[in-house]
Amino acid sequence: MHSILFTLILLLCSALLSCEEGSFLEEKPLKVHFLDVGQGLSVLFEYEGRFALWDTGPDSIGFVDTLKHYGVDSLDWVVLSHWHRDHVGGFLEFPSAIKNHELIVKKVFFTNDTAYGFVSDSVFSILDEFGLNNDTIYRGDSLFFASGWLFQILWPPKGVNLGGNASSGVLFIRDSLSKMLLMSDLETPQEDALLSLSPSLKTDLLQVGHHGSLNSNSMRFLSQILPSEAIISVGEGNSYHHPASGTLSKLYLIVGDSSYVHRTDLEGSLIWLWNKNIGFWIQ
Ligand SMILES: [Zn+2]
Ligand SMILES: [Zn+2]
C-alpha cells in the first residue's frame, strides 16, 4: 500500500515539475544586448521579435549593419541619452536604411540636453525629413517595451537645464525580482543628485557611467546602489584611457570579484537573458 502511495506521489511530482519546466521554457526571455560599438554606448533590447534601442554608438562603424546582423528591421523606440557623438552618431546612418525600407523607427526619445550642436541639428533634420514621432523624456516617464518589465527614466528631472554628460538619460529596468541600471555618461554631481531623489536605489547589473571615467562612479554612489555585476561599454585602446584604474578598483571591491566586471573592449558584445521574475544571466 505504501509503495503504491509513494509511486502516486512520485508521478504527481514529476507531472508538476514537467508542467513548470514547460511554462518556464515557453516564456521568452528579454534579451539585453550591450553592443560592442567601440568607444560609445548602444544597448539593444529584444523581446518576442521586437526591438528597441538605448543609444546608437558612434558614427562610421556601420551601425545599421550591426542592427541587421541581429535581425532588426523595426525599432519600437530609440532613446538618445544625450547629444554626444559616441551615443548618437549611429543614428546619423539611419536615413539611407529608412529610405531603402530596411528599417522602421516608430518613435525617438531624447533628453533635454542643452548642449546643442552639429549632432543634435543632424538628428532634428532626420526627424523632420522622415516625419518621425519624437518626444523629450524626463524623470518620472516610463517606456513600454515588454509586458512584466518596467522601463523607468530616473534622470534628468524636469525643470533643470543641463548640458552634455550632466543631462544623460538614466534608465532603470526591473521586474518583481531583478534590476538593471543604465547610467549613460552621468557624472558624480548628478549621481549625488540622483541619490537624493532616489535614496533607496539599488541595482543588480550596472552599466558603468561614462565608460568607467573617474568623473563618474564615486564610491558613495557605488556603495549605495550595490551592483552585483557591472558592464563597461568602452573602446579598445581609447584615447581617454577609459576605464580608469581607480574606477575598476572600486568596482572590484563592490562586486567582490573582477570576473563580474564585464568590458566590451575585452569581451565584445554581451547579451544578458532575462527570464521574467526569475533572473538574468549572460548568454
Ligand atoms: Zn560617452
Ligand atoms: Zn557623453
Please give the distance, rounded to the nearest whole angstrom, from the Cα atom of residue 54 to the centre of ligand 1. Answer: 12
Helices (H), the chain: 2-26, 63-69, 85-88, 94-99, 118-130, 188-197, 219-225, 245-255, 264-267
- pLDDT number for residue 256: 95
Which residues crowd ion ligand 1, with CB under 5 Å? 86, 185
Query: 134-136 and 43-47: which strand pairing?
Result: unpaired
CB atoms within 10 A of CB 275: 17
CB-CB neighbours of 150 under 10 Å: 15
Q: Which of 7-16, 27-36, 169-178 has the lowest mean pLDDT?
A: 7-16
Evaluate if residue 274 carries a pLDDT over 90: yes
> Which residue from 64, 200, 135 is spatially nearest to 143, judged by alpha carbons?
135
Of residues 23 and 124, the one with the higher pLDDT is 124
Q: Note if the bond before 156 is cis, omega within 30 degrees.
A: yes
Q: How far apart are CA 206 and CA 173, in angstroms?
A: 11
**Is residue 21 very low, low, confident or very high in pLDDT (cuts 50, 70, 90)?**
very low
Query: pLDDT band at residue 60, thresholds of 50, 70 and 90?
Result: confident
pLDDT at 9: 44
- Model confidence at 130: pLDDT above 80: yes
Indicate the average pLDDT of the chain: 93
Distance 196 CA to ligand 1 centre (A): 24
Q: What is the pLDDT of residues 228-249, one digit of tens each?
A: 999 999 999 999 999 999 999 9
Distance CA 47, CA 165 (A): 29
- Percent of the chain scored above 90 by pLDDT? 90
40 C-alpha to ligand 1 centroid (Å): 5
Rounded to a whole number of angstroms, the distance between the first and last alpha carbons of the chain is 48
Residues whose beta carbons lie less than 5 angstroms from ion ligand 2: 84, 165, 185
Q: What ranges do the domains of the chain cover?
A: 29-282
Low-confidence winner among 8-22, 78-92, 144-158, 267-281 (lowest mean pLDDT): 8-22
| Cβ-contact 120, 83 below 8 angstroms | yes
Q: Does residue 136 carry a pLDDT above 90?
A: yes
| pLDDT-derived band at 1, boundaries 50, 70, 90 | very low
151-172 burial string, b = 16+ CB within 10 Å, else e? Answer: bebbbbbeeeebeebbbbbbbb
3-state SS assignment for residue 234: coil
17 CA to middle of ligand 2, Å? 49
Ligand nearest to the CA of 82: 2
Q: How far does the centroid of ligand 1 lie from the alpha carbon of residue 153, in Å?
A: 18
- Strands 170-174, 179-182: parallel, antiparallel or unpaired by DSSP? antiparallel
Burial (CB count within 10 angstroms: exposed 0-12, middle 13-18, buried 19+), residue 232: buried
pLDDT in tens, 138-155: 999 999 999 999 999 999
How far is the centre of ligand 1, averaged over its atoms, from the C-alpha of 184 (Å)?
7
Task: Indicate the pTM of the whole model.
Answer: 0.91
Whether the predicted pLDDT of 22 surpasses 50: no
Closest to 88 (Cα-Cα) out of 79, 100, 101:
79
Instruction: Report the pLDDT value the prediction gives residue 25, as an integer from 0 to 100.
Output: 56
CATH superfamily, domain 29-282, is Ribonuclease Z/Hydroxyacylglutathione hydrolase-like (3.60.15.10)
Q: How far apart are CA 145 and CA 77, in angstroms?
A: 9
Q: Which ligand lies nearest to the CA atom of residue 186 in the structure?
A: 2
pLDDT greater at residue 162 or residue 16: 162
Under 8 Å between Cβ of 34 and 231: yes
Is residue 2 over pLDDT 60?
A: no
Please report the pLDDT score of residue 111 as a whole number: 98
- With a cut of 50, say whether residue 7 has pLDDT above it: no
- DSSP label at residue 149: -
Query: Distance, CA 162 to ligand 1 centroid (Å)?
Result: 16
- Residue 20 pLDDT exceeds 90: no
- 3 or 104, which is more confident: 104
Predicted pLDDT of residue 243: 98
